[in-house]
Copies of this chain bind each other. A is one copy, B any other.
């Protein structure tokens, strides 16, 4: 935990211990941190014999279905009871839960656990720590403080949360604590080799072919500082790849020597274009994304814009060029 990040942390621990029924929510299109940290906390609460209703809006990505406890997830429509506490994990604001918004008021108290700097503090209790890598780290700190023992299943979920949100300990959000926590999780029997086989080495053939097709569209700006890839609906259809398979493609655009900002443009249904941004070290891409109604982190963000691929590409590349100029 960073010194600034405690917030209502001391008040949340007693809630976990004393309350009986918990509704758990995370953001739409959940990633490894959202799913791993949710499952870890859900399993820990069940060890305390609490009633836990862990809801989802979307299907879990296939990549994460191997996680211990993944079958605890139920469609949010099944959350039809009353709950003492609603736990929001990895949600910068209340709208991030998507359609599950309709069930959140079934809980008496809202607890907001998140690491996004843009968090709106919508909870009755808020534990927001923008200096840690992941909600996984926050849940580790909470369980540690609450003296709730880990087991291999809980540790595996926390490991996946931390590892995926740090690009496997590569991003600048990786700190001394991050590795100390990873060491503690491995002590519980977590198997990094097995997990990375599951998370990174289970691409579909279609996904690998999609990567090849995406790389064929690679363009780099004249000054070499912006790289971008473009995926049409047609490419997605021809390769048989899914939207999930597009995750991470944008990193290839950023990975080129001299490129500061990588962008992926992807045609989605309804004449819209999904835009993913990544930067290396200077440009705050969450600010660019917010110009297009999106958001995220300084080095990783996203937005959805209306218009043709060409129009959106032009507008976005102009915004990126301006941001680069300001970041000189």
Contacts and interface: CB of A to CB of B under 8 A. Distances in A.
A212 interface: yes
Contacts of A167: 168, 196
Contact of A255 (B175, B192, B203, B220): B203
Interface stretch (A107-115, A179-187, A300-308): A179-187
A202 to B, nearest CB: 4
Contacts of A182: 169, 179, 182
Instruction: Give this chain's copy count.
Output: 2
Given A203-B257, A256-B205, A176 B186 contact: yes
7 contacts: A163-B170, A169-B169, A176-B187, A179-B179, A179-B182, A180-B180, A204-B257
A1 interface: no
A170 B170 contact: no
A280 to B, nearest CB: 5
A150 to B, nearest CB: 14
A132 to B, nearest CB: 14
A60 to B, nearest CB: 16
Contacts of A205: 218, 220, 256-257
A191 B172 contact: yes
A310 interface: no
